[in-house]
Chain A
Amino acid sequence: MKTFEYARAASPSDAVRRSGPGVMYLGGGTNLVDLMRLGVAQPDHLVDVSRLPLDAIEQAGDRLRIGAAVRNSDLAADPLVRARYPMLARAVLSGASGQVRNMATVAGNLLQRTRCAYFQDVSRPCNKRRPGSGCPAIDGDHENLAVLGRSDACVATHPSDMAVALAALDAEVHVTGPGGDRIIPMPGLHRLPGDAPERDTVLEPGDLITAVELPPPPPGASAYRKVRERASFAFALVSIAAVLDVRDGAVAGCRVALGGVAHAPWRAGRAEQAIIGGPATGEAFLAAAEAELDEARPLPRNAFKVPLARNLIVRTLEELTP
């Protein structure tokens, strides 16, 4: 590991003041420390933001404000989150392990990097790690990588489970930075790779996430489902966060977000539009899933994700139908 200087930020504005070239924020460290050990991240300065007073979950009118430094386990155990946003609790609980969730923060979870094996191996080329060096995953190991929204430069997926639920819930990410404060609606925090895969998100250098705010939960039943290679403690092959509101046999509201399929949590807007207003039937859900996945451009070894995502959408919505 390359050496660096460590400092604790005294306040959000102090953290931003300390930002600059070579400076990175440290949350729980569960991703960043690992990437530093692998030589993938090489900050000169670490500014620890994990102990900032951004660790509360508060009701703000009919909205819920979750501080950026709230630990993943505290988020999932929070009574208000469990009662009003059970899908979010489930998504968080499906990720990592009890130990990692105790350490990991909300902001760090959103900004964790891809698990693409080439990205993590500094002896290999990778456009995300070293822009312009190439993408060995396209002709190599891409089983776990993207089928939607990928580019010729990068086919990585975003690994977060929590972010998928936040995308379905229309969460807002609150940011402060050298350019001032702003609010980024999910799923707009994460970018598609295009020709700049080195940028995972729309954040600018020095931007500090301070909170995630949730609007009132959408009416209807909700679920988070994760398909993975073992029953626990593994990243998603495909996951889904879904909400379905059925009234008199017709769908009044529907939200679908997919994980494990793209460089960002994938809000399935086409499927939602196809479903809303129609009958809550398996055929309708299948047609909607197919409309969404029409855009999929799988690679040879991850083509299985397309039928997997289709079946997961249909099964989950069927189970949510009263």
Chain B
Amino acid sequence: MDITLQVNGVPRAVDVDPRMSLLDLLRERLGLIGAKKGCDHGQCGACTVLIDGRRANSCLALAVAVDGSEVTTVEGLAGGDGLHPLQEAFIEHDAFQCGYCTPGQLCSAAGMLGEPGPSAVTDDVLVDPDLTPAEIRERMSGNLCRCGAYVNIVSAISEVAR
């Protein structure tokens, strides 16, 4: 099937098998290998990208189902030559070891910072809470890190959330 996507601001027209996931499309057809395949089941977050500005697991999205959407991967997060503030903060806070989960952590954090409303740990669901470390941990729970860099990931995100 022919589909058209805006990927990191560039229009891309591709002919895809209906079975192909957005993750495989990005990695295997478009050469964007930032998003990683950790589990292919929505459980690890390594494949997180932004679809129309919202974070999503690209392993669970069929490429045909996102036809017409805008996709941002870690390669396009900064939107230019420099680094995104989250990328700078991750470097500053030593928020990765092997780096496998990092593109997903970055895209997830970028999406998360734009998500209004409470989380499962917010006391009063009527309030939009401050992004305390507890809030950040809960909101980032869809991103696993095998190296256990969580403490530094949370401090990096905290700095940008401030």
Contact = CB atoms under 8 A, between A and B. Distances in A.
User: A and B: real partners?
Assistant: yes
Interface of A: 1, 3-6, 26, 28-30, 33-34, 36-37, 46, 48, 50, 73, 76-77, 82-83, 86, 89-90, 93-94, 96-100, 102-103, 231-233
A99 B55 contact: yes
Nearest to B119: A93
Contact of B57 (A4, A5, A30, A89): A30
B118 A96 contact: no
Given A33-B60, A98-B139, A99-B48, A77 B40 contact: no
Interface in B1-59: 1, 17-19, 21, 40-42, 45, 48, 54-57
B18 A99 contact: no
B112 to A, nearest CB: 6
17 contacts: A3-B18, A6-B62, A26-B62, A29-B62, A33-B60, A48-B65, A73-B115, A89-B117, A89-B125, A93-B119, A94-B120, A97-B143, A98-B108, A99-B55, A99-B56, A99-B57, A99-B142
A86 B42 contact: no
B112 A100 contact: no
Looking at chain B, what size class is its interface with the partner chain? 35 or more
B61 interface: yes
B60 A34 contact: yes
Given A93-B120, A99-B55, A1 B19 contact: yes
Nearest to B122: A93
A102 B56 contact: yes
Contacts of B61: 29, 33, 103
A36 B142 CA distance: 22
B111 interface: yes
Q: Please indicate which of the listed interface residues B1, B120, B142 has the most CB atoms of chain A within 10 Å of its own CB.
A: B120
A225 to B, nearest CB: 11
B132 interface: no
B1 A98 contact: no
Nearest to A73: B115
Given A83-B126, A233-B142, A34 B118 contact: no
Contacts of A33: 21, 60-62
A37 B59 CA distance: 11
Given A34-B42, A99-B56, A6 B142 contact: no
